[in-house]
Structure 1
């Protein structure tokens, strides 16, 4: 047992009212109230202000910085934005006061988990930040931290899956790219977006499955898939939910569920500018991270959105001046036979560079036919999707800043949709989902005006010199519209042999130090994942693809910085508090 700490005589404490003594690694404030002695951690658990300078009245200790209030006996706070203050056992021996240095209410993993839930429920960023920092420092798995956010976001947002859960999933995916501070920032940002998006949105209650009590009344997967597809077609989200929950109850695999859901999503063209398919992909990605037992709430959270989606085959741009709908509708019936009878050559005879150039061309009809030929010659649907994603990234890498600023989002939508299709096809390649590869290619075509004029791809200079310090890139992005300058910096860094892992981390911090909007998180994650796929190959196209993806994400982030940076400031406060720094003192 730890040795007791002498606090002084009872009479002296009564005369002084409060005294600070040195604890184990921290200070303890000792108070006398109604002839009883109480000891609390002297650091206000909200933001670290010394509590001995506060006021004790009616048994309530009030901090004088932000007026957080604490029950002097239990340490409990009256303010949900503050944490409980640790209290310490006190012994009085012959008029001398001694304090045990081990608090009654020690911080535990379970308490930190509960505080994270509190922060999400009350939408308090600092509480979320302190919980994430505490859990990460305690070695609590990042996927378990994310699980708390996913459970909350899929339960307490009646309108279902949205950008918050997408950001959280994306940040979980890129954690290996980041240092420890970056990982804290990534989880914090994702969780805060979940909390903000769920605030005041109401609880979502599951409808329940159809009866599955015996074999006679159990429907086949094929029948359920047909019902589900029809429900989505007529925008019946409730019917679709009951069918989906029935398929889950019957134990069908994630691959089967993905096929069922993706088929319905891709029955129409580029639904909701790609967000719907992207959300579906992210839901299956997070399931792989946190466990299949979460399928009912996670997958059904995708359904409230289906009642109000845009179907781009109905839009003017997809029908005029070039009718893109007709050639696609003629091509899609051929996909089943093509994929069933494909040769086993693996597309070895296909010029993939020429195929990417064709996707970027002004001839969409030829693009459709070229893509069909590629599939016939053994190019897999996932590989074709990878090439379309590269073409979409090329649009961003060449996006000219003379375009309307909001047009960044247009090319971003195409890229993240194409990436979601690629990742989904890597899990399961069906003819129905393969249709989405063609939607992506047509969207690349429709975005062609955003490369008119086309931003020049920078050429490296002084390649024999040492690579630059990555901090230079962060400093550059402290100024607005350093798009071309940042691109040149990155090209030189790569040409000089700069460490890519340091660059990934630097780009991650360029994102996470900002009050970034939804699409910037999408951009970083999709670029990093696609880059990883290409990095496994040794070819001229693979090297071009890697540079293109890095250029695309660099230019996009540079175009959207700097911001107010309120959120990362909150996270920095939490990290400094955890280290025991004094925020209230001058630097």
Structure 2
């Protein structure tokens, strides 16, 4: 218990109206109002303005900066965006005023979590930011912070899993590559996007699983998977939801659920330009982080999108001037009858030339691409490795995207890359013939993107004359200017050639993203690039060296092409960080 602090005589306080004293972490304002004495934290919890400069009327203290109002007795605010102000015990003894400089109602992790939920519900960015800062500084595990956003987003958006929860998952994945401020910004950006996307979208209520009579034989998971597949085929998402919840109730493993849901997706080609498979992959990644908690809400949140998802086999571009659907369907019939390898066979690397596969993926002969991929599988190549090569080819399309294309076409090559990345990550968890079909889907999308590399942007070469090691923060300065796409790629190549550290660059690249009002696809690009690069780093080969450089060029060009922005989203988080440090924003 803190020792009491003497303020002044009661008469003096009445005459002066307010006294400010140092107490604990912050100054405390002691206020005489309507024959009562109150003590509150002198920093307005909204943006830190001195409350002793405010005014009191009818028991309400009003801050004069943004007019936040507080009950003098409890510290409670009438304005949800402002937070409650801390109050302190007051004692009048023999005409002297004393306070105890320890808050009556201390800030706790429980309250910070509650405040984060408030921010999500009210869609108030500053409240979300301050809660995230407080939780991170209190040592709360990032997954526990993300969990609050997942629980909110999967329940309070009637049309289910979307870009917000995907961003939150992606940002959770890249936390190991960021410094503390970067971690705060990443979690904040993910949570803010969940709040924005859920605002006014209504609550989602779960259906019941199918009724089960213990005396009768319960359906096998394999049968439920068939039911689920048929429901998705005819876009009956309510029927699919009841089947899915029944499978969960019967104890289906996460792998069984993943196989069931991914099979239904890959029955069709490149659904919703790749977003559908990406969303499913991210949902299972988040479930893994949360140790399979909230499976019902997370997995059923994926279903609403499927009622109207586009199916690329129905689109003109997949049927003319070259019919891609027929050779793919022929390949998939063959795929049903070959043994799928989870890892490369002993001689597959000798039989299958990976450079040849990569060049074929980037060629203008899609039928031969399908044939070569099938030959590779028949010769013992694993779908996991082929998925990795397809993702590399998709990254090459981004790396070679020419700025003479329309700006919106950046999203076209991005969609192919993020779909391929999602397939690669998903197939590493569970390798099935059905999911392997998505490797072929990605390969065809790479073919369809070929004109976006005509003309082709040149791959930058390191400057041999430059021997000085670069400061990674120079990259941020570069991206303060527009149209630095090719300059960013050149900078990265020189940085690495001069011994620049990868970890430092990943962190700076993360800050280059997180300081912007980045749109959904830029978050996807950064996370996918970092994850794919890390996998290639584990391999010592010429193709691995090529892959790592290609991926870094691709992500650098994409991030640079989408910068700078007005940056007000990150500005809010930086305010929260500075307030937590006790900085005096109002003096600037």
Per the TM alignment, residue 293 of structure 1 is displaced from its structure 2 partner at its CA by 2.5
**Matches of 2:346 and 2:212, distance apart in 1:** 45
Contact 1:527–1:553 (CA<8 Å) still a contact in 2?
A: yes
Which residue in the other structure is 2:406 paired with?
404
**Matches of 1:346 and 1:463, distance apart in 2:** 42
Per the TM alignment, residue 19 of structure 1 is displaced from its structure 2 partner at its CA by 1.1
Contact 1:389–1:418 (CA<8 Å) still a contact in 2?
A: yes
Which residue in the other structure is 1:67 paired with?
67
**Matches of 1:352 and 1:13, distance apart in 2:** 82
Contact 1:128–1:188 (CA<8 Å) still a contact in 2?
A: yes
Which residue in the other structure is 1:208 paired with?
208
Cα 1:346/1:418, change in 2 over 3 Å: farther
Equivalent residues in 2 for 1:386-535, closer than 5 Å: 386-462=388-464, 465-535=467-537
Contact 1:421–1:436 (CA<8 Å) still a contact in 2?
A: yes
Contact 2:341–2:382 (CA<8 Å) still a contact in 1?
A: no
| Deviation string, structure 1 residues 161-193 (Cα, Å, up to 9, x no partner) | 000000000000000011110000000000000
SS in 2 for 1:357: helix
Contact 1:30–1:39 (CA<8 Å) still a contact in 2?
A: yes
SS in 1 for 2:457: coil
**Matches of 2:300 and 2:217, distance apart in 1:** 23
Which residue in the other structure is 1:154 paired with?
154
SS in 2 for 1:323: coil
Contact 2:345–2:382 (CA<8 Å) still a contact in 1?
A: no
Contact 2:28–2:40 (CA<8 Å) still a contact in 1?
A: yes
Cα 1:340/1:47, change in 2 over 3 Å: closer
**Matches of 2:494 and 2:363, distance apart in 1:** 29
**Matches of 1:133 and 1:300, distance apart in 2:** 31
Equivalent residues in 2 for 1:234-245, closer than 5 Å: 234-245=234-245
**Matches of 2:402 and 2:577, distance apart in 1:** 39
Contact 1:38–1:72 (CA<8 Å) still a contact in 2?
A: yes
Which residue in the other structure is 2:79 paired with?
79
Which residue in the other structure is 1:370 paired with?
372
Which residue in the other structure is 1:583 paired with?
585
Per the TM alignment, residue 34 of structure 1 is displaced from its structure 2 partner at its CA by 2.2
Which residue in the other structure is 2:104 paired with?
104
The answer for unaligned runs of 5 or more in structure 2 is none
**Matches of 1:434 and 1:83, distance apart in 2:** 51
| Deviation string, structure 1 residues 282-303 (Cα, Å, up to 9, x no partner) | 0000000012121000000000
Which residue in the other structure is 2:220 paired with?
220
The answer for unaligned runs of 5 or more in structure 1 is none
Equivalent residues in 2 for 1:230-379, closer than 5 Å: 230-339=230-339, 344-345=345-346, 347-349=348-350, 350-379=352-381
**Matches of 2:37 and 2:291, distance apart in 1:** 49
Of 570, 573, 588 in structure 2, the residue corresponding to residue 571 of structure 1 is: 573
Cα 1:478/1:328, change in 2 over 3 Å: same
TM-score by length of 1: 0.99
SS in 1 for 2:540: coil
**Matches of 1:313 and 1:97, distance apart in 2:** 79
Per the TM alignment, residue 464 of structure 1 is displaced from its structure 2 partner at its CA by 6.4
**Matches of 2:253 and 2:407, distance apart in 1:** 43
Contact 2:489–2:553 (CA<8 Å) still a contact in 1?
A: yes
Cα 1:340/1:92, change in 2 over 3 Å: closer
**Matches of 2:156 and 2:445, distance apart in 1:** 34
**Matches of 1:71 and 1:25, distance apart in 2:** 22
Contact 2:341–2:381 (CA<8 Å) still a contact in 1?
A: no
| Deviation string, structure 1 residues 447-492 (Cα, Å, up to 9, x no partner) | 0000000000011113661321111111000001101111100011
**Matches of 1:499 and 1:510, distance apart in 2:** 16
SS in 2 for 1:97: strand
Contact 2:341–2:383 (CA<8 Å) still a contact in 1?
A: no
SS in 2 for 1:337: coil
| Deviation string, structure 1 residues 204-231 (Cα, Å, up to 9, x no partner) | 0000111234162411111100100000
**Matches of 2:465 and 2:20, distance apart in 1:** 60
**Matches of 2:244 and 2:45, distance apart in 1:** 45
Q: Kindly report the root-mean-square deviation, in angstroms, between the aligned alpha carbons of the 2 structures.
A: 1.1
Equivalent residues in 2 for 1:105-184, closer than 5 Å: 105-184=105-184
Paired residues in the alignment total 586
Contact 1:44–1:63 (CA<8 Å) still a contact in 2?
A: yes
Which residue in the other structure is 1:190 paired with?
190
**Matches of 1:88 and 1:103, distance apart in 2:** 5
SS in 1 for 2:294: helix
**Matches of 2:395 and 2:274, distance apart in 1:** 15
Contact 2:48–2:579 (CA<8 Å) still a contact in 1?
A: yes
Per the TM alignment, residue 561 of structure 1 is displaced from its structure 2 partner at its CA by 0.1
After TM superposition, the runs of 4+ consecutive aligned structure 1 residues lying more than 3 A away are 340-344
Per the TM alignment, residue 495 of structure 1 is displaced from its structure 2 partner at its CA by 1.1
